[in-house]
Amino acid sequence: MDKHDKYEVVKQAWFEINEHLRNNKQDYIEYLKFSSKMYKQPYSDAVLVFQQDRNATKIAEYKKWGRLGRYVRRGSHGVAVFGKNHTCRYLYDVTQTGGKELPEMWTLTDRNTTELLNTLNNRYNINAGSVKECIEAMTANSINSAPIAESVQNAISQMGLDTKQAEVYRHSLDSVVQFVVSQRCNLSGKI
């Protein structure tokens, strides 16, 4: 299979997983939980990884693993995602690598909650009394910030939503972002 054919396979997978997630609420929720751990990955990469390897936890390209002091094990098959100029890139999960130990993923604990809350309140000029309030305020501020608000408005225009539908869309977007951030902070039952 040549590079163009591989790209077409990834493109078809992209359309299939997006259609599937639109029509399957439970898998969409599972994707949101999954993506909270892939927070450094763009949506296109995270959704393709979700489709191809739902057990993935930490992913990177071959060269990035090398820069982190790790090697990709011989015979490992990467997850195909979009590359530049209609090509594919391949991402490998940490379970497919060996080498230098990686630091543990940051976790919100009782011990660091107060410090995090103080830092976020100061940095984003909010006055939240809990992590839940902080996430709500930060989400609202982010969605209303210039570059994101413009993207949201463009999406609303492209979908041809009326005023009521646009409000529902914004509310849904706000809820999804809060859910993903809460999942990333391991707050699913605490907020």
H helix intervals, the chain: 3-23, 25-37, 43-52, 62-67, 110-123, 131-143, 146-159, 163-184
Q: What is the pLDDT of residue 44?
A: 92
- Residue 6 identity (one-letter amino acid): K
Contacts of 107 (CB under 8 A, 6+ apart): 186
Stretches where the chain sits below pLDDT 70 are 188-191
Which pTM was predicted? 0.77
Q: Classify residue 28 by burial, with Cβ atoms within 10 Å: 0-12, 13-18, 19+.
A: middle
Q: What is the pLDDT of residue 8?
A: 94
In whole angstroms, give the CA distance from residue 164 to residue 149. Answer: 17
The answer to whether the CB of 96 falls within 8 A of the CB of 72 is yes
Q: What is the pLDDT of residue 112?
A: 86
In whole angstroms, give the CA distance from residue 123 to residue 78. Answer: 38
Q: What is the pLDDT of residue 187?
A: 76
Q: What is the pLDDT of residue 107?
A: 79
Q: SS3 for 71?
A: strand
CA-nearest of 95, 89, 100 to 63 is 89
